[in-house]
Amino acid sequence: MKKFRTAFLSLFLLLILAPWGYAGQVDLKILYVNDFHGFAEPYKAAAQEPPLGGIAYLAGAVDRARVKPPCLLLAAGDMIQGNSWANLVRGKSTIEVMNAMKFDAMVVGNHEFDFGPKVLKERMAQARFPMLGANVKGFPALKPYIIKNLQGVRIAIIGVVTPETSVTTHPRNVAGLTFSTPESAVKKCLAELKGRADIIIVLSHCGFQADRELAAKVPGVDVIVGGHSHTKILQPELVGRTIIVQAWEHAKALGVLNLQIKDGKVAGFDGALQEISPATGAANCQVQEIVARYQRQAGSRLQRVIGETQVDLDGKNVRTGETNLGDFIADVMRQTAGAEVALINGGTIRTSIPQGKITVKDIYAVLPFDNYLVAISLTGAQLKAALEHGVSRLEEPSGSFPQVSGLAFIFSRSAPAGARVKEVTVGGRPLDLQKEYVVATNDYLVAGGDGYTAFGEALKSAGDYANLGGTLTSSKLAYNDPGAWLRDLVINAIQARKTIAPQVDGRIKAVD
């Protein structure tokens, strides 16, 4: 009897302690997406390409992958903002879809802040999964991490967002918030999680290069699921002992990472991206109904044809060089404002338009942000400084890369940042550093967005910076219309022309 009681007690202890510690082997599957940006429907980047994406088809792929548990479904940020399907309801549609798909966790991306803190809190309250942000200070609703227990394996998921969020969304959206470095935030979380987790996953909306640097600097992270740079990592990459993955953009791929866990540690892994399209498998019917319901709410307003393009409009390469779509939008801005020059950040332009009919919906997808047109007098020196900033980050595609009108410039890729711009002409004449030029841009850059400072400094010198967005007169301010979004100005321009066929005409040239 004593031996029986001892055996029974041992079995009882084993059963109650099993969820908190693990010895043995478990196969764990991590499914991941990033940078959805509200692109709910399949779409073509160019007329000759097949349609890719479709969140209902991605949800179907998730269903098929989940047949063999245990699984985690994770999102690495920039989910609720971008395409009009999400923008018109300020991300509500995206969260409804994510709830239906049963996401386990999400890190906020920089564009989760684009509708302001009040809307972000509403989306968080709507979500049936946690949103993470370990390096965001001043927003206590965001959790630094969560711990999941799958078949006895304790998995900690830490979320970090790019510190550049303070300049990659409109500064008014992050007033009162600070963003510490991912490195310091992850180190702090690792110290808190010591003895509480077997596997450490970092959900990172910081970009692929930043993820590589984080893996090299912070030991103890098993997996980094990344976003922000829209990188198409076909096979998992390894930096030290840290596995790094990222799943492209716009629901065009589902990432699958298989981990073999032995005695609470990663013993092996493999993975790949599954391309998503209507041709790759059946859609999830529940998600398909949600997509269609929000499409119907938008109604005929977005489907209205406003003109036609005789060429593909390139919104894909705006972060690395001049494109015909960047030229066209900058031209519209310069002409509307009556300015000599226009300059915008490539990150303003979010997607391409294939040759053929152009709808309102297409322009809303290209220009999803609520930005308006501003024109300010800058000296030639200030204008050159703005161009220098635009080409200061060439290591990977950057949203600060400029698209321009009314000027042309040459820059050197091999020169150090701050000394790359070699030649600038305005209206065919060499730039005069002392002369003032009227430069059209948007309110985002005036407020310091994407790190541009020249516009705000010019207004500050006239004492008008704090008044931007209202009615004012200024020797520096030549145009200011908060009542019309930039996308609506572009729609009007296409309607007036009816047919467009912009070409790249050599405004921006790179030399070694």
Instruction: Note the pLDDT tens digit of each residue in 133-159.
Output: 999 999 999 999 999 999 999 999 999
**Residue 297 CA neighbour count, 13 Å, CB half:** 14
Residue 112: the pLDDT is 97
Residue 463: the pLDDT is 64
| CA–CA distance, 511 with 422 (Å, rounded to integer) | 10
Taking the chain (512 residues) in runs of 10, the rounded mean pLDDT of each run is 46 41 79 97 91 98 94 98 93 98 98 96 98 98 97 97 92 94 98 98 98 98 97 98 98 98 96 97 98 91 95 97 98 98 98 97 95 96 98 94 98 97 98 98 95 91 53 70 92 98 98 94
| CA–CA distance, 58 with 262 (Å, rounded to integer) | 30
User: pTM for the complete prediction?
Assistant: 0.84
* Same topology between domain 19-294 and domain 304-511: no
The DSSP secondary structure of 47-74, one letter per residue, reads: TTSPPB--HHHHHHHHHHHTTSS-EEEE
| CA–CA distance, 171 with 445 (Å, rounded to integer) | 10
Instruction: Note the pLDDT tens digit of each residue in 10-20.
Output: 444 444 434 44
CATH number of 304-511: 3.90.780.10
Domain range annotation of the chain:
19-294, 304-511
Residue 16: the pLDDT is 40
| Torsion, Cα of 277, 278, 283, 286 (10° steps) | 90
Contact 203, 132 (CB under 8 A): yes
Fold of 19-294: Purple Acid Phosphatase; chain A, domain 2 (3.60.21)
